[in-house]
């Protein structure tokens, strides 16, 4: 894979901020991944944009336990989806999931990333993060563009599920509710139930949360056969940053729905399909593990 390329005409502008081939000044605590500092009119401007460069440090690197846990519980989480939430034969998971998100992925990388304000396939909080940074860049007369290298037809890619998790409870999160974290699910529960008194009490807390709503989150690794080019240009059209990647971590989620919601609709006399679309709820672990992750979904009622 190609690494970051900075045109020679602009190299003097940024070389003082770069050390070897890595951006060592990146702060791990930053929610968004900073673009390198660039000098404008003698002033140092710190720009941020929520896009990982090929040389950026990963926001999340699975530990041995995390990888082992996912392999251990994968069959369990698959079974939970099929038996409790998206039931066969109406929804054949993961086959129908792959079919549903294929078009969303294609549209994201070919159109939506360059026109984020009109993107309908992202949850609102993620879209707002991207859109805010787009606006800040435009104020500095900078533009961002995404395009595939040597693309003749549609981009070709593979999708692999890497993590399945669930969020149970009401949405949006009511006042005096807290998030209780478990290995494969989060429970949005009243403050008074934060600590289970015993095993039986904890099971009741889980059942209550599940009855109040469910959001399924599925992280995938998307690998393209072509490189995606990320370009930042100044107002004169000069390329300031040029970067290439071909694999991305994309999370999809359902809206928050209750067991009593009718989530299927007839698409033919003998075939049903989901009434809602999967939405992109995270890219490259931008909000993974933050409070935004627990609220990054929509309500099912907004789809009907």
The domain ranges of the chain are 8-303
Between CA 78 and CA 190 the distance in angstroms is 28
Contacts with 96 (C-beta within 8 Å, 6 or more apart), sequence order: 273
Task: Please report which confidence band the pLDDT of residue 137 belongs to, taking 50, 70 and 90 as the band edges.
Answer: confident
Mean pLDDT for 62-76 is 75
**pLDDT of the residue at 172:** 85
Per residue in 275-299, pLDDT tens? Answer: 999 999 999 999 887 767 766 666 6
* Number of neighbouring beta carbons within 10 Å of residue 107: 14
Which of the pair, 302 or 83, is modelled with greater confidence?
83
C-alpha to C-alpha distances, 66 to 60, 164, 214, 220, nearest whole angstrom: 11, 12, 23, 15
Between CA 155 and CA 148 the distance in angstroms is 8
Per residue in 3-60, pLDDT tens? Answer: 333 333 333 333 333 332 223 233 333 444 445 544 444 444 555 678 888 888 888 8
Supply the pTM of this predicted model. Answer: 0.81
* Nearest CA-CA partner of 109 in 274, 225, 238, 253: 225
Mean pLDDT for 247-254 is 95
Residues 240, 232: contact at Cβ < 8 Å? yes
Mean pLDDT for 78-103 is 91
The lowest-confidence range among 4-18, 82-96, 115-129, 248-262 is: 4-18
Residues 284, 222: contact at Cβ < 8 Å? no
Q: Please determine, for residue 153, whether its predicted confidence score (pLDDT) is greater than 70.
A: yes
Mean pLDDT estimate for the chain: 80
Per residue in 173-182, pLDDT tens? Answer: 889 999 998 8
**pLDDT of the residue at 140:** 84
């Amino acid at each position: 894979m190609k690494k970051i390329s900075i045109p020679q005409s602009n190299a003097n502008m940024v070389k003082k901020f770069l050390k070897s081939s890595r951006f060592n000044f990146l702060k791990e605590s930053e929610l968004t991944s900073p673009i390198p500092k660039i000098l404008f009119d003698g002033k140092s401007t710190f720009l941020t944009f929520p896009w990982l460069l090929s040389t950026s440090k990963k926001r999340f690197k699975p530990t041995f336990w995390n990888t082992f846990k996912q392999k251990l519980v994968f069959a369990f989480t698959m079974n939970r989806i099929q038996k409790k939430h998206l039931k066969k034969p109406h929804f054949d998971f993961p086959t129908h999931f792959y079919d549903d998100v294929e078009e969303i992925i294609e549209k994201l990388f070919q159109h939506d990333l360059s026109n984020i304000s009109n993107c309908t396939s992202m949850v609102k909080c993620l879209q707002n993060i991207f859109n805010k940074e787009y606006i800040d860049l435009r104020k500095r007369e900078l533009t961002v563009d995404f395009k595939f290298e040597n693309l003749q037809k549609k981009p070709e890619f593979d999708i692999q599920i890497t993590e399945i998790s669930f969020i149970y409870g009401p949405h949006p999160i009511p006042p005096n509710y807290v998030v209780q974290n478990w290995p494969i699910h989060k429970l949005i529960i009243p403050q008074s139930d934060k600590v289970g008194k015993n095993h039986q009490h904890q099971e009741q807390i889980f059942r209550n949360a599940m009855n109040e709503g469910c959001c399924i989150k599925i992280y995938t690794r998307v690998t393209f056969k072509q490189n995606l080019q990320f370009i930042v240009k100044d107002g004169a059209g000069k390329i300031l940053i040029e970067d290439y990647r071909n694999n991305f971590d994309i999370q999809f989620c359902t809206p928050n729905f209750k067991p009593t919601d009718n989530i299927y609709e007839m698409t033919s006399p003998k075939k049903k399909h989901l009434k809602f679309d999967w939405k992109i709820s995270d890219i490259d672990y931008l909000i993974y593990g933050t409070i935004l992750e627990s609220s990054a979904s929509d309500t099912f009622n907004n789809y009907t």
